[in-house]
Amino acid sequence: MNIRGEEGENLPVVQNCGILKEYCEFMDIVFRYQAELKNKPTKEQMEGCYDKAIKEAISRGILVDYLTRKGAEVRNMFFGEYDYDLDMKVKAQEAAEDKAEETAKNLLEEGDSPEKVSRCVGLPLEQVLELQKQISIKA
């Protein structure tokens, strides 16, 4: 069974699974960018191809959460460069950033200034201001 292209788009398994449908859409974007490359593309051209595909998918609302969090891993997997140790380091870094954001949100909700929160949790002021906007939108 081929899930690529129009033939695959109409398969019940694709139509009934939003994630699989988005994955197929993402891969169509990747294949389109790959087709634009020269016969023997350089590594930089290939990286650019995958980066453009990831950015386009995100801008079109395709696998947004996953590609936003894991875009570098996705690109590396296309190259066959997946590295477990590096993946674990990235996950630890992401967890630390998530914790810093959660702490920042709590401090902002308690009334601390964005400048103070930025200093305390080590996040850039712009990021803290964005978190503050998110909090005020939810309120």
Sequential DSSP letters for the chain: ---SHHHHHTSHHHHT-HHHHHHHHHHHHHHHHHHTS-SS--HHHHHHHHHHHHHHHHHTTSSHHHHHHHHHHHHHHHHT---HHHHHHHHHHHHHHHHHHHHHHHHHHTT--HHHHHHHHT--HHHHHHHHHHHHHH-
Contact yes or no for 73/51 (Cβ under 8 A): no
Smallest Cα–Cα separation from 87: which of 78, 79, 77? 77
Return the pLDDT at 75: 85
Return the pLDDT at 91: 79
pLDDT digits (tens), the chain, 139 positions: 445 555 556 667 667 787 888 888 898 899 899 889 888 888 888 888 999 999 999 999 999 999 998 888 888 888 765 566 766 787 788 888 889 999 999 999 999 999 999 999 999 999 999 999 988 877 6
Polymer length in residues for the chain: 139
Return the pLDDT at 1: 44
